[in-house]
Structures are given as structure tokens and as C-alpha cells.
Structure 1
């Protein structure tokens, strides 16, 4: 092999070793991603997370009364796959930049269609789809790093933006409840759909949302006609109990025990456990009923 070729190969190996030996340094503002199901809607937030690092954040690092990317680097992006309301404003499904204008007394939250922004340098207010006011709150917790989080409020959410000792929040509302209630009213309560599983799902929804006990009672009774089950009796019992109809609740609990025994198989190893559980339910309701009558 010629000397020139040997030198070239040696140089290539040397540069490769040099490249692979370099230390990888972490980003000063690492990327954060939140992906969260909210009712019937998929929500995603992507942002770069700066840290305070002994600097005063609001009023200095983040100036008052200027459009802020609500993060570092490229603008913060928020995406959702169904139409929603944010800050009480209707917004179509899509991806938007999430910008803010911080101030001591109030913040402006902005959703803008330009998701390619680096910082807020080329921000164009003509591309805004929503603007609304929120009021900053003092946080007893100190947030070293900018933090966006989602607190679920059954089928809806509150979105929080927190940094240093300041936090703002705004509502993220989905169409979930309206769609389900339209379905229950238009299909199940009218008798257009008579399906035990569909009714069970509706009963479960109404119960855990604490919504319209009269509808829940009607659906539970109809589902029992379709398929006599301890599940429907249990929710019927708990529905009556919540409304302080203790006599009806006791009767529903007895029916649940009776139904469980009827459906038991010879080798049903869970029967004794379930009966014991139902007896505890009965005792609990009787205790409440006695207190009410005394």
C-alpha cells in the first residue's frame, strides 16, 4: 500500500475516533411533550422548557407586556383532534402556537395558526384564532423549570402554565358531554336502541358524572328487563342511596344478592365473597335509614 493511502486511512480513523469521543451536552431547554386523552379528544402540547438558573424570570428574563413564546427556542405548540373551547372560545381541531403576553395583573393567552415561529419574532396578530385574559396566581411551590400540565376535570381539563412562583390556568372544554347526552336522549331514552351493553355504559356514565338520577333510574330498570344483572341493581341501589331513598336502595340491594345467587355456578368460588360484600352494602344503608328515622 502506498504511503499516501496509508496516511489518508490514518487520518480518517483519527477523525472518526475524535468525533465519537466528543461529550454530548444536554440542552439548556429540553423538549417537553404532553399527550393526554381528554374525554373524546386527544390533546398534545410540545414545548421547550427553560430553567430559571438563579435569574429573575418574569419582568426581566421574560419582559412584561411583550409577546412570549411560552417556552424557549421554537414556539410552544398545542394540538387537538376535535373542535374544543379554550378560554371559553370555540376553536377548530388543529395545531396552533400557544403564545402569551405576561403582565403583573393579567396575562393574554393567544392561539395563532403560525406554528413555525422561532421565539415570537415573526408573530403576526392577523393569524390569531383566539385571545383571552387570565389572571396570574402566586404559587407556594417554586418551579425551577417552565412547566405545563393538564389537570383532568371529567371529560374536560384545566391547562396550567407555571414558572418561578407564578402560575396561570385556562379551561380546555371538549364536546364529550354534549355528544353523549344527545346520544342518550335521542337513542336510548326514546327506545331507538335497546341494547344492554349500551345502556350499561350510559348508566355508568350518568352515575359517575352524578347527572340526572331520574334518567339513570329509568335506564337501569330498562337494562334489567334486557338482562337481569347485579350490576344494574348495584347502580340502582347506589342511585337511590345518593338521593336518600333508603327503602328503595335496600330493595335494590336485596335484588342484587338474589340475582347473584341465581347466576352462580356450582364451582363459583367468588359467590361467598360477593354476598358478604352485598351484605355490607345492606348494613350501611340500613344504618343510614335508621339515623334518618331517629
Structure 2
């Protein structure tokens, strides 16, 4: 009976320490890449984007920290989510109303942007590889890169009112725009 009691106490203590350690690690990570939320509304259309916003901090971003030609979780920490309350046409492809994870493959002159149906707890697996499952992609579109005259220090996602609402991703001197029709 004493052995069982001590066994349960040790297991309970390990669980509490593990949970506390996870929360501390999560808090420390979020300080370097704080959460950001975009809330866009125009008439009946509502779009929400949740992402984590890392800083440049003097680093080479695209082609360096974020390699070219590899899937990127499009931010830091958790996978970025994109929610729309209405069907959208993106690159001539239908994106039904719903919640998606947003993934990108940056190239020097263009980016592939993926709206994925699956929700992921974290943006990468334990080995650091993006956790996106391509079979779950709802829409994929390729958009050109715009080179900015000024550095954007912190990764930024916005939805801008242009001719049509446009999802904009900007960091360092790179900007990509995805029209949302």
C-alpha cells in the first residue's frame, strides 16, 4: 500500500512539473514571437487570422531563417489560422466558408500559398519539419513577391481593402498579396 501511495505521489508530481514546464516554455516562446490577430469585416464578409509574429532581429529572413523552396508555417509557434464566414474565390479556386491553416512555400520571385483544412497543434513536428499534410489542402495559389523599399521588422499579416479584399503577408523587404474574391 505504501509503495502504491508513493508511486501515485511521484506520478502526480511529474505531471504537475511537466505541465508547469510546458507553460513556462510556451510563455518564453511567445515573448519572442507574440500572437497577432487580424479581424476584417466588410459588409457581410468577416475574416479572422490568428498568427504569431517573429522579429527580424538583424537576421536574413527569406533564403536564410526561412529557407526558399520549403514549406513554412507562415509565422512562428502554432500554425497560422484563417477563418472566413463566406465562400471565397482565391486564384479562381473555391475556398468554402470555414477555418483553415495557412501555409506557404517562399521562393525568390513568388510564393505558393496553401489553405489547409486540417488544424495542427503546432506548426512543426519534433524534427522541425512543417506539419502540413498536402492531402488536406483546400486551395493552393501562387503569387508574386513584391520587394519593399523599407524593412518590416516584425512579421505582419493584414487584410487590406483594395479592389477586392487582399490577404497581405510582409516581413523584412518581402511582401506577398493574395486577392480574396
Normalised to the residue count of structure 2, the TM-score between the two structures is 0.77
- Tell me, in whole angstroms, the C-alpha distance in 1 between the residues paired with 2:81 and 2:108: 24
Which residue pairs with 2:84 in the alignment?
80
Given the alignment of the two structures, is residue 150 of structure 1 paired with residue 144 of structure 2, yes or no?
Answer: no
Note the C-alpha offset of 1:38: 2.6
Alignment coverage as a number of residue pairs: 149
Partner of residue 135, structure 1: 144
3-state SS in 2 of match to 1:82: coil
Q: Give the corresponding residue for 2:176.
A: 168
Matches within 5 A, 1:1-294: 27-120=31-124, 121-153=130-162, 156-173=164-181
Q: Distance in 2 between matches of 1:144 and 1:74?
A: 20
Aligned to 1:222: none
Q: Where is the strand percentage greater, Structure 1 or Structure 2?
A: 2
TM-superposed deviation, 1:85: 1.3
TM-score by length of structure 1 reads 0.49
Which residue in the other structure is 1:14 paired with? none
Q: Which has the higher contact order (CA 8 A, sep 6+)?
A: 2
Supply the distance in 2 between the matched residues of 1:28 and 1:87 (Cα, whole angstroms): 34
Pair 117,136 (structure 1): closer, same or farther in 2 beyond 3 Å: farther
Q: Which has the higher helix share?
A: 1
Shift of 1:147: 0.6
- How far has the Cα of 1:54 moved from its partner? 1.1
Deviations 1:20-68 (A, max 9, x none): xxxx967100000011103321110000000011111001100111000
Take 1:38 and 1:47, find their aligned partners in 2: how far apart are those partners?
Answer: 21
Residue 77 of structure 1: how far off its partner (Å): 0.4
Larger Rg: 1
Equivalent pair of 1:98/1:111 in contact (CA under 8 Å): yes
Q: 1:117 to 1:89 in 2, by over 3 A?
A: farther
Where does the alignment leave 5 or more consecutive residues of structure 1 unmatched?
1-23, 174-294
Contact map agreement 1:88 1:171 (CA 8 A) in 2 = no
Give the match's secondary structure for 2:31.
coil
Offset of 1:132 from its aligned partner? 1.0
CA distance in 2, matches of 1:98, 1:122: 12
State whether residues 117 and 123 of structure 1, in contact with CA within 8 Å, keep that contact through their aligned partners in structure 2.
Answer: no
**Partners in 2 of 1:108 and 1:117 — Cα distance?**
22
Per-residue CA deviations over 1:72-130 (Å, capped at 9, x if unaligned) read: 00111000111111233211100000100001022100010112242243211000001
